Structure 1
């Protein structure tokens, strides 16, 4: 059975472009995979705790324990249960939301999601990922990627995920064009999933 893990990170619950695009993606994904299931992980609604020294130490010491270590194990289990991962990510102060960074700090773990016996090798290479990035301005760099996509791609590659699709929504601060821009992204998602 196909399973999609959806990871949201927008502080906005209402009027969030990333959540809206994520809803559209999930709706189309379910139409394509009617027997599939969706795991929802929202790093903002239930704030993901930031990594502490105690939890970091517990990653490599079986005699140590923190509640965040249990959360880390749960988040990693969700990744392994999924076939595909959808990340919806707005830009805050030129970067990914801190709650999304905190999420990745808890799932990037030696011998759990990557190894480095003979160089770094991600253990999630059988997964597909989809990134919906949303920015108020236009931030695409030469080559077409924006800073959010570059950052998230680096993290996903570290985990072994290289099959990644991108759906950037830029210039949301320009309200006179936003309807047309969201329609274009929805059309892109529809074409990708159909």
Structure 2
């Protein structure tokens, strides 16, 4: 008796499986991009909640690359809208946050400390920071500034949203797989 003569196997549904796999392969980059966009929006929203005043309006998102199986995006400060928004995150002068890299402080610190800001360049509420008000040789008033403490909003937003961001990508891909499968379950 030959070994294959006892039973036979017929596989049905391979056409459906092939179609489902083709849909998944075709739609995976778009689903990943959707998940990344959701993660970027979530992180930007968190940063906006943490950011002070006008800095909120400088927080933007963008997809940088979505070709070749790679999706990259960023949440960033649009310094064309609020030129000093990055200084809010990292601080300035002697109060800059070097993020644990001593060499980085050289890149972020003003070349001359203290520096002087004409009173007309900042709101009257600037006085609350306690900088000395001095009179220049021209008789005009200036704030003497040695730096401002950082008020991080981007870093905490990114850090606190890490798991949620990964889940956003996973959810978008899972939803696409359910849709490709056609029955709403994975």
TM over 0.5: no
| Higher RCO structure (Cα 8 Å, ≥6 apart) | 2
Q: TM-score, normalised by structure 2?
A: 0.21
Greater percentage in helix: 2
Q: TM-score, normalised by structure 1?
A: 0.21
